[in-house]
Chains A and B, each alone.
Chain A
Amino acid sequence: MAVAQLVKSVDVPYEEKERLFNEVKADLRFSDYLYGCYECGICVAVCPSARFYDFSPRRITQAVAREDVELVYEQMNGEVWECSQCFSCLVCPRKNNPGGIITIMREVAVKNGLHSAKEALEGYSRIIYKIMSTGTQVSPDMIRPDAFPDWGPNAKETADNLEVWRRAMPPDTMHTTSSSWEVDDKTLTELYLIWHLTGVLDMIKTLDESLHMILVDVMEEKLEEAGYPLS
């Protein structure tokens, strides 16, 4: 975590940190994800992120189990974003789910607009826009040499030939460039309804207000057209 963030965390009242911790504990998945910790470290041994970052699923599980409000707040402001979400840590002999606990901590960080979430997801907005508006997370037209220079010359060749290469494949649902397959309009509207009714759009607002405005514009029109009440 950056030094500046550490200093800022000192300024946050304990009550606020406790409120965030209680939000983690109140999640319905929490009781299925934490049963205690032997400190055996098996989760660390199999963790890919632990090999490349100062990151430890054991440390996070321990902090949450001990209800160490200060440490959990620090982790929510930094290291939770290093997790690869591969769930190798499910080898835990105590049946803990450290990756799942981290998912909840991340959600609370996003929902409450913590700086770490904004920093970790910098450059990610286009992905959120894609998944929420088209129903497919990535699309063929995302392969551009400037976005994927490390993928080699193949990225440029794909981008140069994209439209005709997409037509040169047999499944009739896949001749698309801006989404991974052709999604029905009605299907998309139903997806928008799910985002609308489950508070996901509010989460986006705390993360990126401009993106939120664009998504609301796209979705509200479709939902109104389909006759779904927005209140």
Chain B
Amino acid sequence: MPIPINIPVKGPAAPTKKGEFRRSPEDAPEDLRAMAFELEAKGEWIVQRVPEPYVELQTKYGKPKKIPLQHTWHHKSCGQCGHIPGYSTSIFWLHRKLGMEYNDPRDQTSCTAWNYYASATSNSAAQAGVAMRNFAAAYETGYFPQIHCATSYGHYKEVRSELIHHKELRDQVREILKKMGKPLVIPEEIVHYSEWVYAVRHEIAKRQVLDLSNITATVHPACHYYKLVSEDAIYDPDVYGGQRTAVVTGVVEALGAKVADYSTWFDCCGFGFRHILVQRDFTRSFAVQRKIEVMRDEANPDVTLTHDTGCVTTLDKSQFAAQAHKGVTAAIPVLSEAQFAALAMGAHPYRVCQLHWHSADYHPLLEKMGIDWRERWREFEDDVERLKKDPGAVMTWDDADAAPTQAFGAGTRPHPEHRAHGGR
């Protein structure tokens, strides 16, 4: 006679569309957002509310997440602004073109997580101190943080979890902030810029001026976006049947380009944090052998798109050495989806998207998109010549959008180093 075994069996999952994968909300980890509100009720900290208007998107286990459309405080990325600055300028440009106001602060430091993951010359108290100083700085302006870097986004979610679970850490960080005269504040949602781009993808598509139906893209989802504290990442049953994060891919689809799949989509890019800086043989080998060559062999894309600092840098910069070594001539250009969306809306490839900072050859992509890159580069070189003649001048947003003959007109202003320092 069989021995009865009492195995708890869940009932059948709710009916789903064919091919759609739906996680059970019962499998979701603890609700950190709800716990943050509970701590606020106990007077432990302030929860900064998401300002209206916002869009509600679905997260991995089905919970809604509020994505503020404007009145956002842009937590910039050191790697983006420093080495691939067209990434940041494209995010700002999209906000401006959609009429969504924002704050680009000087009262912001890097999250310092690149260093933390690379060298471990830090600790949980320091990392939480940096995160909460930046959040308090945003709160003081009344603007809500939108985080440009996926590592900052992932790390700040780790920090939020540590602060929620460890009173002694909260107390320590609160004391540090008190010395600066700042309150302990946690945002209601930790928001990544790619969630904002995803939320406004149809608005971007409405303003699209280029036909991208002949463009094929591969997508590299950023590890620190959807692997670290994964329950906050955006998923959509209509994108990959809800099995992978929907950001980036949903944007490419909304713009009418083709998304091609490849087998190593889950692999990281090879950035490695420490490796990209002092052991790049690993970074180059991994990026080329596990990502670029697989994409080329399996999908032959015109471009690969991603949504993080390290991924764009690694996948873009790692291709030169392999090309030189193997004599391979075809590169895969690497852009953020923000740059791709900006180009689709007619942004200047150099003044706005700053593609001259990228290494892998992007010219064939621009040609296929219908962009006369030679003429645009000539315009940019003219801009540079004018700037060289006037060491006090800088490019303005008006310049970036001006017709060639109007560039560097009324909008030109003195270089910031010639002005007194100070926040907005």
- Which residues of A line the B interface, CB within 8 A? 27-29, 32, 46, 48-49, 51-53, 81, 84-88, 90-91, 103, 106-107, 109-110, 117, 120-124, 127-128, 131, 135-140, 142-143, 148, 150-152, 154-155, 157-158, 161, 164-165, 167-176, 179-188, 190-191, 193-195, 197-200, 203-204, 207, 228
A127 to B172, CA, bound (A): 27
Apart from A180-B79, A187-B107, A191-B133: 9 A-B pairs, beta carbons within 8 A = A28-B124, A131-B115, A151-B359, A164-B387, A168-B395, A184-B422, A187-B137, A199-B125, A200-B122
Is B88 a contact of A87 with CB atoms below 8 Å?
no
Query: Can you report 15 residue pairs joining A to B where beta carbons are below 8 Å apart?
Result: A28-B162, A48-B267, A85-B274, A86-B227, A91-B227, A142-B83, A174-B81, A180-B76, A180-B78, A181-B81, A183-B109, A188-B109, A191-B109, A194-B176, A207-B121
Picked from A91, A103, A107, A182, the residue with its CB within 8 Å of the CB of B421 is A182
Which 5 A-B residue pairings sit nearest by Cβ, starting from the closest? A152-B320, A106-B120, A135-B109, A86-B268, A180-B82
Contacts of B285 in A (CB 8 A): 52
Query: With A84-B272, A128-B115, A139-B82 given, is the CB distance from A204 to B384 under 8 Å?
Result: no
Contacts of B354 in A (CB 8 A): 169
Is A85 a contact of B133 with CB atoms below 8 Å?
no
User: In the complex, which residues 84-141 of chain B have their Cβ closer than 8 Å to any Cβ of chain A?
Assistant: 85-86, 88-89, 92-93, 104-110, 112, 114-126, 129-130, 133, 137
Total CB contacts across the A-B interface at under 8 A? 271
**Which of B93, B112, B393 counts the most A-chain CB atoms under 10 A from its CB?**
B112
Interface residue B275 (Cβ < 8 Å from any Cβ of A): yes
Is B416 a contact of A172 with CB atoms below 8 Å?
yes
Interface residue B378 (Cβ < 8 Å from any Cβ of A): no
Is A158 a contact of B357 with CB atoms below 8 Å?
yes
Which residue of A has the minimal Cβ distance to B229? A90
Which residue of B has the minimal Cβ distance to A197? B176
Interface residue B61 (Cβ < 8 Å from any Cβ of A): no
Picked from B85, B129, B273, B282, the residue with its CB within 8 Å of the CB of A174 is B85
Contacts of A48 in B (CB 8 A): 267-268, 270, 272, 286, 290
Is B129 a contact of A198 with CB atoms below 8 Å?
yes
Is A136 a contact of B110 with CB atoms below 8 Å?
yes
A81 to B118, CA, bound (A): 9
Is A228 a contact of B179 with CB atoms below 8 Å?
yes
A63 to B230, CA, bound (A): 26
Is A84 a contact of B273 with CB atoms below 8 Å?
yes
User: In the complex, which residues 278-299 of chain B have their Cβ closer than 8 Å to any Cβ of chain A?
Assistant: 278, 280, 282, 284-286, 290
Picked from B124, B272, B286, the residue with its CB within 8 Å of the CB of A29 is B124
Q: For residue B417, give the distance in angstroms from its CB to the closest CB of chain A.
A: 8
Query: With A128-B115, A139-B82 given, is the CB distance from A85 to B400 under 8 Å?
Result: no
A117 to B407, CA, bound (A): 51
A123 to B80, CA, bound (A): 22
Is B180 a contact of A87 with CB atoms below 8 Å?
no
- Which residues of B line the A interface, CB within 8 A? 76-83, 85-86, 88-89, 92-93, 104-110, 112, 114-126, 129-130, 133, 137, 154, 161-162, 165-166, 168-169, 172, 176, 179-180, 223-224, 227-228, 230, 266-268, 270-275, 277-278, 280, 282, 284-286, 290, 317-318, 320-321, 324, 351-352, 354, 356-359, 380, 383-384, 387-388, 393-397, 399-400, 415-417, 421-423
Which residue of A has the minimal Cβ distance to B416? A175
Which residue of B has the minimal Cβ distance to A127? B277
Is B387 a contact of A140 with CB atoms below 8 Å?
no
Which residue of B has the minimal Cβ distance to A89? B227
Contacts of B126 in A (CB 8 A): 194-195, 198-200
A208 to B152, CA, bound (A): 26
Is A151 a contact of B320 with CB atoms below 8 Å?
yes
Contacts of B223 in A (CB 8 A): 86-88
Query: With A121-B278, A172-B416, A198-B176 given, is the CB distance from A137 to B224 under 8 Å?
Result: no
Contacts of A138 in B (CB 8 A): 78-79, 82-83, 114
Contacts of B82 in A (CB 8 A): 136-140, 142, 179-180
Is A136 a contact of B278 with CB atoms below 8 Å?
no
A93 to B317, CA, bound (A): 34
A210 to B303, CA, bound (A): 45
A90 to B225, CA, bound (A): 13
Is A85 a contact of B227 with CB atoms below 8 Å?
no
Contacts of B115 in A (CB 8 A): 127-128, 131, 137
A84 to B230, CA, bound (A): 18
Is B351 a contact of A170 with CB atoms below 8 Å?
yes
A122 to B137, CA, bound (A): 34
Q: For residue B253, give the distance in angstroms from its CB to the closest CB of chain A.
A: 25
Contacts of B321 in A (CB 8 A): 150, 152
Query: With A131-B112, A191-B133 given, is the CB distance from A170 to B278 under 8 Å?
Result: no
Q: For residue A162, give the distance in angstroms from its CB to the closest CB of chain B.
A: 11
Is B121 a contact of A204 with CB atoms below 8 Å?
yes
Is B180 a contact of A168 with CB atoms below 8 Å?
no
Picked from A32, A107, A167, the residue with its CB within 8 Å of the CB of B120 is A107
Is A90 a contact of B393 with CB atoms below 8 Å?
no
Is A168 a contact of B384 with CB atoms below 8 Å?
yes
**Which of B83, B228, B400 counts the most A-chain CB atoms under 10 A from its CB?**
B83
Contacts of B286 in A (CB 8 A): 48, 51-52
Q: For residue B211, give the distance in angstroms from its CB to the closest CB of chain A.
A: 27
Picked from B88, B108, B119, the residue with its CB within 8 Å of the CB of A128 is B119
Query: With A171-B92, A182-B421, A194-B176 given, is the CB distance from A151 to B76 under 8 Å?
Result: no
Is B106 a contact of A171 with CB atoms below 8 Å?
no
A110 to B119, CA, bound (A): 8
